[in-house]
A and B are shown apart, each in its own frame.
Chain A
Amino acid sequence: MKTGGTPRRWLIILPPLVFLLVFFLVPFAFAFKISFAEAAAHVPPFTDVLVFTPDHHLKIAATLANYRYLLTDEVYGVAYLFSLRTAFFATLVCLALGYPMAYAIARAPRATQSVLLLVIMLPFWTSFLLRVYALEGIIRDNGLLNTVLLHLGLIHEPLRIMRTNLAVYLGIIYSYLPFMVLPLFATLEKLDPTLLEAAADLGSTPWRAFRDITLPLSVPGVIAGSMLVFIPAVGEFVIPSLLGGPNNLMIGRVLWDEFFGNHDWPVAAAVSIAFLLLLVGPIAIYQYYNVRQLEA
């Protein structure tokens, strides 16, 4: 579109750029501003940070109270750490399950490959909420898992999984597994099979070839997949809310309660900003590997 010239180019670039700028990036600026406001009993429920006085002077009525509150009230620190830990271990299990799955798909014949990919994709696109709900049917006290185990005589009392942290782990692993498999498959598929053949010709065992060739070359996929699971899992709300116990304080749930329960919007804004700052690192890593993979 060289002949289109610069002005016409902007007809294509500007709509998505402006839309995402206004509705994705600018909201963070507003959240940042409101995180310095105070909660108030009117609509909207917070004070103005920037106030024009009657004599046309701009007055900044900012308070650091919300951030101070985050640091002094233990709940937030504990919730952050707990969410990070939960997401971390769930990501590890997803990786342990997802890697062999992606490997098996990458090794399958082409025709089978696309069917298998669709099989993995299908749950990923169907309702997240309903899948979490469906899991409840398996793990609740009188659910399928307990019924089967009781019938087999392996246990004599139903296992209590629902409303425990184990249920949250199972929920995250079950819901996010496809997110891990797809990027891993994308890198494993690109792997040149002649490299492995060369290794085999040179007398390397399949395991050594895997360790020395396949594994190092699949690192970008491992990182992209792990980030795709880890980052959303840290902020997960639906899973801890539906499957976790009342004392499962993941940060997503704390935020939700702050907002809908306590109606303290400025504190919720401060929590979001602090949360976002913690996620900037992982998101940057994800972007870096993602862009590199797209442009490879």
Chain B
Amino acid sequence: MERHGSLFPFTVLCFGIAILYIPILVLIAYSFNASPLVNVWGGFSTAWYGTLWHNRQLLDAALLSLEVAVSASTGAVILGTLAAVALVRFTRFPGRLLLTGMVNAPLVMPEIITGITQLLLFVSMVQLISWPHRGFTTIVISHVTFCTAYVTITVQARLASADRALEEAAMDLGAGPARAFLEITLPIIAPAIVSSWLLCFTLSLDDLVISSFVSGPGASTLPMVIYSKVKLGVSPDINALASLIVCGVGALIITAGWLMRRAERRRALEIQLAGR
């Protein structure tokens, strides 16, 4: 595929990747700076990581964020997979267009609008049915809403490329449709489900705007605490925290990518073997 004249795109690619990574690498480097002054290098130190463990506010927020992220990504994976199955397998049903729209719109909807409108809904619901109270529950509901979109799109792509014939063969052999789905199709889309769970987890962990609107007093997620600190300027302990989060999330994403690729390869191999 090597073509002449492709030097320019390649140069821009390298430049783009450099732009994407340099700020993060600089941030990580500065998190090991012993000096509390952000512009002076005072030698290597891991002291800022140590101070994180004594910051009660940060730990509480991190715990809340983790709970929210686990609940929201689990909920989103269930709803998103169902939506993907509905959209791929049932080509016509009333509300299909509506579902397609509602699955895609959150991807581009400015967060601030989603946040405000959902808060207004929750407030009105409390007036009508005294539920839900703003805090953990409302944050999870909001996160499930935008995460579902990502799950549906990932699983949809996978499901569309899955071979329908296998499932039909299972049903010809006497399996019920539910059993055929669980035993044949689910394993095929499992990597997509696992990786979209991980992606939702990171998206939920990162959300600032929507959480700020829908959370109630006393429920501050990690991004909310970080934002209020960052607003005051660059600080060394936030550098340390940011490095931890970026590396942790990065590791999760690489795992997800690796899982997808491994499953892809295995499937390709199986198809090859079956074809013999």
**Could you tell me which A residues sit within 8 Å of B by CB distance?**
1-4, 8-9, 12-13, 15-17, 19-21, 23-28, 30-31, 34, 44, 97-98, 100-101, 103-105, 107-109, 114, 116, 118-123, 125-131, 133-138, 140, 142-144, 147, 174, 177-178, 181, 193, 206-207, 227-228, 231-232, 234-238, 241-242, 252, 255-256, 259-260, 265, 268-269, 272, 275-276, 279, 282-283, 286-287, 290-291, 294
Contacts and interface: CB of A to CB of B under 8 A. Distances in A.
A8 B119 CA distance: 34
A174 B226 CA distance: 20
Chain B interface main SS type: helix
B38 to A, nearest CB: 8
Given A9-B93, A31-B120, A279-B110, A207 B9 contact: no
Contacts of A232: 108-111
Contact of A174 (B17, B23, B80, B227): B23
A121 B257 contact: yes
A144 to B, nearest CB: 5
B22 interface: yes
A140 B223 CA distance: 22
Nearest to B227: A129
B177 A19 contact: no
A127 B105 contact: no
B182 interface: no
A279 B4 CA distance: 41
Interface string B256-275: 01000100000000000000
Contacts of A4: 177-178
A259 B213 contact: yes
Contact of B5 (A1, A207, A279): A207
A30 B257 contact: no
B116 A23 contact: no
B66 interface: no
Given A100-B13, A122-B253, A231-B108, 4 more contacts: A16-B83, A20-B102, A127-B242, A294-B157
Contacts of B113: 235, 272, 275-276
A287 B108 CA distance: 10
Contacts of A131: 23-24
Please provide the 10 A-B residue pairs with the shortest distance between their CB atoms, ordered closest to farther.
A235-B110, A27-B117, A104-B9, A16-B83, A100-B12, A134-B23, A27-B121, A142-B39, A100-B9, A104-B13
Chain A interface main SS type: helix
Contacts of A28: 117
Contacts of B249: 125-127
Given A133-B230, A232-B110, A268-B116, A144 B246 contact: no
A129 B13 CA distance: 24
Contacts of A227: 108
A20 B86 CA distance: 14
Contacts of A17: 83, 86, 95, 98-99, 102
B9 A101 contact: yes
B108 A294 contact: no
B20 interface: yes
A143 B26 CA distance: 10
